[in-house]
Amino acid sequence: EDKFPSRRRNPTTPEIVEVEHSPGPVSKMIRARKIRLNGKDQRQYLVRFKNQTADKDKWLEEDAIPYGNLHLKIFRASRRT
């Protein structure tokens, strides 16, 4: 039963999100942010790559960062002090 027959229905299309991968070795992680993708909270990190300038920095998810666990440990330790 349609409670609102005059209301238009817009079919919802899922948002297409491309996961970016690292273009090279990581120099350091600069910032972290939480974003909402496809109805889920995701944490992304602003990463600077070796021998690259700041305009080449990218927001990447943890699993897209080479040696992400090691860089996250260093990043979190630096934020505590």
Encode pLDDT of 11-65 as tens digits.
554 444 455 566 778 999 999 999 998 889 999 999 999 999 998 899 999 888 8
pTM (two decimals): 0.68
Rounded to an integer, what is the distance from CA 71 to the centroid of its chain?
A: 15
Whether 22 and 49 have beta carbons less than 8 Å apart is answered as yes
Dihedral angle of Cα 18, 63, 59, 76, to the nearest 10 degrees: 160
Integer Cα distance of 46 and 58 in angstroms: 5
Which CATH code fits 26-80?
2.40.50.40
